[in-house]
Amino acid sequence: MRKIIASLLFILFLNVAQAQIIDQDSAWIRENYTKSEQYIPMRDGIKLFTAIYEPKDKSEKHPILMNRTPYSCAPYGKDFSGRLLTSHWKYYARENYIIVVQDVRGRWMSEGEFVDVRPFNKNKTGNEIDEASDTYDAIGWLIKNVSNNNGNVGAFGISYPGFYATMTAASGHPALKAVSPQAPVTDWFMGDDFHHNGAFFQMDGFGFYSGFGKPRPKPTTIGPRGFTFPIRDNYKFYLENGLPKLMEHMKDSVAFWKDLYAHPNYDDWWKARDARRAMYDIKPAMLVVGGLFDAEDCWGAWNLYKAIEKQNPGINNRIVMGPWSHGQWGGRDGSFLGNIKFGANTSIWYQNNIEIPFFNYYLKGKGDVPNIAEANIFMTGTNEWKKFDQWPPKETQPRDIYLEANGALSWIRPGKTNSFTEYISDPAHPVPYTEDVHFSRTREYMNDDQRFASRRPDVLTFQTFPLEEDLVLTGPVIANLKVSMTGTDADFVVKIIDVFPDDFRYPGDVNQPGRSSVGGSYPMGGYQMLVRGEIMRGKFRNSFETPEAFKPNKIETVRFELPDVAHTFKKGHRLMVQIQSSWFPLADRNPQKFMNIYEAKPEDFQKATIKIYHDTNNPSTIYLPILR
Question: Is a pLDDT exceeding 70 seen at residue 3?
Answer: no
Q: How many CA atoms lie within 13 A of 184 on its CB side?
A: 38
Q: Which of 219, 113, 125, 131 is closest to 168 using CA atoms? A: 131
Strand partners, 498: 529, 575
Separation CA 167–CA 134 (nearest Å): 9
- Report H helices in 370-478: 451-454
Q: Which of 307, 359, 343 is nearest to 568 (CA)?
A: 343
Measured distance CA(199)–CA(190) in Å, rounded: 9
Alpha carbon 431 to chain centroid, angstroms:
22
The pLDDT of residue 88 is 94
Transcribe 26-60 into DSSP letters.
Answer: HHHHHHHEEEEEEEEEPTTS-EEEEEEEEES--SS
Q: Which stretch of DSSP H or E encloses residue 298?
A: helix 298-311
The confidence band for 510, taking pLDDT boundaries of 50, 70 and 90, is low
Is the distance from CB of 371 to CB of 353 less than 8 angstroms?
yes
DSSP 207-266: HHHHHHTS---S--SSPPP----S-S-HHHHHHHS-HHHHHHHHTT--HHHHHHHH--S-
Q: Do the bridges between strand 33-41 and strand 47-55 make them parallel or antiparallel, or are there none, so unpaired?
A: antiparallel
Model confidence at 256: pLDDT above 80: yes
What pLDDT is stored for residue 13 in this prediction?
A: 45
Largest CA distance in the chain: 79
At residue 367 the predicted structure's pLDDT band, cuts being 50, 70 and 90, is: very high
More confident residue, 378 or 20: 378
Cis preceding-peptide flag for 55 (omega within 30 of 0): no
Q: Is the pLDDT of residue 107 over 60?
A: yes
> Using 50, 70 and 90 to split pLDDT, how confident is the model at 516?
very low
Taking phi over 0 as left and psi of -120 to 50 as alpha, with beta for the rest, 231 belongs to beta
CB environment 459-487: b (16+ within 10 A), e (fewer): bbbbbbeebeeebbbbbbbbbbbbbbbbb
pTM: 0.94
pLDDT tens sequence across 78-90: 999 999 999 999 9
| Mean pLDDT (the chain, rounded) | 94
Q: What is the pLDDT of residues 26-53, one digit of tens each?
A: 899 999 999 999 999 999 999 999 999 9
Q: Residue 332's pLDDT is what?
A: 86
pLDDT for the residue 22: 59
For residues 399-404, give the mean pLDDT: 98
Q: Are strands 608-613 and 420-425 parallel, antiparallel or unpaired?
A: antiparallel
How are beta strands 98-103 and 62-69 bridged, if at all?
Answer: parallel
DSSP 327: T
Between 586 and 5, the more confident residue is 586
Nearest CA to 586 out of 440, 472, 470, 457 is that of 440
For domain 195-270, give the CATH number: 1.10.3020.10
Is residue 330 within 8 Å of 158, Cβ to Cβ? yes
Query: Could you tell me the fold of the domain covering 396-627?
Result: Jelly Rolls (2.60.120)
CA angle 407/409/413 to nearest 5° reads 115
Read off the pLDDT band of 508 (50, 70, 90).
confident
Mean predicted confidence (pLDDT) in 346-351? 97
A 10 A CB-CB count for 309 gives: 20
d(C-alpha 328, C-alpha 290), whole Å: 9
What's the confidence (pLDDT) of residue 23? 64
Q: Are 131 and 164 in contact (CB under 8 A)?
A: yes
Do the Cβ atoms of 413 and 616 come closer than 8 Å? yes
Poorest-pLDDT segment among 6-15, 98-107, 213-222: 6-15
Answer yes or no: is pLDDT of 1 > 90.
no
Per-domain residue ranges for the chain? 2-187+273-388, 195-270, 396-627
**Within 13 Å and on the Cβ side, how many CA atoms surround 136?**
16
For every residue of 134-190, which 3-state class applies, written as one string? Answer: HHHHHHHHHHHHCCCEEEEEEEEEECHHHHHHHHHHCCCCCCEEEEEEECCCCCCCC
State pLDDT tens for residues 520-573.
Answer: 579 999 999 999 999 999 999 999 999 999 999 999 999 999 999 999 999 999
CATH superfamily of 2-187+273-388: Alpha/Beta hydrolase fold, catalytic domain (3.40.50.1820)
Nearest Cα residue to 170 out of 296, 286, 300, 301: 286
The pLDDT of 592-618, averaged and rounded, is: 98
Q: Kindly write down the DSSP assignment for every residue of 455-475, as one continuous string.
A: TSTTSEEEEPSPPSS-EEEEE
Helix axes 255-262 and 243-250, enclosed angle (nearest 10):
160
In order of 256, 496, 591, the CA distances from 584 in angstroms are 23, 18, 13
